[in-house]
Amino acid sequence: MAADLTLLSDLSPPSLERTWLTAPHPTLPIVATCSSDKTVRVYSLTNFRLLSTITGGHKRSVRTAAWKPHVQGESVLATGSFDATVGIWRRWDTYGRDDGLQSDVANGTGPNDNDSDDDEEWRFAVLLDGHDSEVKSVSWSPSGMLLATCSRDKSIWIWEDLDDGDNNFETVAVMQEHEGDVKCVSWHPVEECLASASYDDTIRVWREDLDDWGQVACIKGHAGTVWYLDWEGADNVPLSTNDATLPLTTQWKDHRALSGPRLVSCSDDRTVRIWRRQPKEQRAQPPFGGTGVPSIIRPTGIDETWEEETILPSRHELSVYAVAWSKRTGLLASVSADGRIVLYEERFVAAESTQVTDADLPAGETGASVPKTEWKVIAVVDGAHGIYEINHVAWARRADRGREAGPEEEVLVTTADDGSIKVWTVGR
């Protein structure tokens, strides 16, 4: 089923320099955009206007940002810069969640429209110094206690937020197995498991074992720099196109309970690929976070096997810089140096599955029937930002003013070289 990607609005005013990435807030209708002008701009998704400009923390381009989850009463933002440092910024949600920020955004009376001082709004809490070169990506763990950072210096650092009221962070691991710039780090949606992507054309998966972080998988398949990674949502199920495919949903969930969420990656080789972990024997354990998805525990000393499940239909003519996997709908979006946005949908193939038996698997692993799916391109937008490369794409909950949005309705946010940030709706 085809879809329409329709421009809803530009975020205004744009940056006058290249914008690298836009990070939607986990709960509030705002986004943070990183710019080459050394600032981070915070915009409203309610009226698409600039709320704050965060300045003064970094000496070079701000390349990446991520909001800390599960924070009450304030917003905490991590930023990574080409100056080799990571900044932690805090802002009290003084205007509240009911009549405060929501009201400020709706009425256009945000920080830029009154006498409030940006310096008083956003507090530069701490500078994390350790990388030797440009920081390319930052990512908070699902618990919000760990922050992963990666750099052109080929290393990945994991920091623990001690949450002691003094903004203290402790370095808990430094991983240096990658043989090139590390472009992206991304945490598993429910577990403390980290994936990284690199200039060395590989994806690596990391877990903690006996108080030490180590690599449990090195995934090879791309024929160029792996620019970006994203995880499948823990509750994702492919689309059932007719009654014949409905029974496959249970089968699908049973298999994912063993293998866990999949990974999507994109590369300089112009491909978007999906990877699935080979199922392991499940240890009895209550579900994580009440999601109904069991924890996947790596047996001590046993590496994980990740296999390429599929290469998505080819629609990009240049390097694919970013992918975003919707945690609500399961739709995938990719953006590229070719200025194109591509939207993909996964559907069950009726009455077909790939049968994996215990005899086909190593000792200790269990077989399951994997329902067959296929990915279709459902929308393509050429020249989405004119002649400019698109550096990033992200899903966010739709929140524009004067409109009752359904709980599953989302917008797509794209970020480009000309400093523009565009918000798109998906119509069916």
Q: Which domains does the chain have, with CATH numbers?
A: 4-95+119-280+301-351+368-427 (2.130.10.10)
pLDDT in tens, 58-86: 999 999 999 999 998 899 999 999 999 99
For the segment 27-43, the average pLDDT, to the nearest whole number, is 95
Q: What pLDDT shows up at residue 369?
A: 66
Q: Respond yes or no on whether the N-terminal peptide bond of residue 13 is cis (omega within 30° of 0).
A: yes
**CA 97 and chain centroid, separation:** 24
On average, the pLDDT of the chain sits at 85
Q: What pLDDT shows up at residue 282?
A: 45
Q: What is the 8-class DSSP label of residue 412?
A: E
Q: What pLDDT shows up at residue 287?
A: 42
Interior CA angle at 403 toward 402 and 408, to 5°? 150
Q: What is the 8-class DSSP label of residue 233?
A: P
- Across 97-181, the runs of DSSP E, i.e. the strands, are 123-129, 135-140, 146-151, 156-161, 169-175
Task: Find all residues with CB under 8 Å of 193, minimum gap 6, and list them.
Answer: 187, 205, 206, 207
Q: What is the rounded distance in angstroms from the CA atom of residue 121 to the CA atom of residue 141?
A: 25
pLDDT in tens, 238-259: 987 776 667 788 888 888 889 9
Q: What is the rounded distance in angstroms from the CA atom of residue 308 to the CA atom of residue 250?
A: 23
> How does residue 404 score in pLDDT terms, banded at 50, 70 and 90?
low
Exposed/middle/buried for residue 115 (C-beta within 10 Å: 0-12, 13-18, 19+):
exposed
Task: Find all residues with CB under 8 Å of 29, minimum gap 6, and list them.
Answer: 44, 45, 46, 101, 102, 105, 397, 399
Percent of the chain at pLDDT > 70 equals: 82
For the segment 399-417, the average pLDDT, to the nearest whole number, is 82
Tokens encoding 3: 């879809």
Say which residue the tokens 């391109």 belong to.
377
pLDDT in tens, 87-106: 999 998 854 343 334 433 33
Tokens encoding 88: 């932690």
For the segment 342-369, the average pLDDT, to the nearest whole number, is 62
Tokens encoding 227: 């620019």
pLDDT in tens, 307-317: 999 999 999 99
Q: Which of 27-36, 161-170, 361-370 has the highest mean pLDDT?
A: 27-36
Q: What is the rounded distance in angstroms from the CA atom of residue 373 to the CA atom of residue 200?
A: 30
Q: What pLDDT shows up at residue 407?
A: 59
Dihedral angle, C-alpha 79, 82, 86, 89, nearest 10 °: -40
Q: What pLDDT shows up at residue 244?
A: 65
> How does residue 46 score in pLDDT terms, banded at 50, 70 and 90?
very high
What is the DSSP track for 357-387?
Answer: -GGGS-TT----EEEEEEEEEEEEETTTTTT
DSSP three-state, residue 107: helix
What is the DSSP track for 62-73?
Answer: EEEEEEPSS-SS
Sign of CA dihedral 277, 283, 287, 289: negative
pLDDT in tens, 265-293: 999 999 999 999 998 764 334 344 444 44
Q: What is the rounded distance in angstroms from the CA atom of residue 428 to the CA atom of residue 108?
A: 31
Percent of the chain at pLDDT > 90 equals: 69
> How does residue 121 score in pLDDT terms, banded at 50, 70 and 90?
confident
Range in 77-81, 136-140, 165-169, 229-233 with the lowest mean pLDDT: 165-169
Using the predicted structure, report yes or no on whether residue 48 has a pLDDT greater than 60: yes
| Nearest alpha-carbon partner for 67 in 116, 34, 35, 39 | 34
What is the DSSP track for 269-298?
Answer: TS-EEEEEEPP-PPPP-PPGGGSS-----P
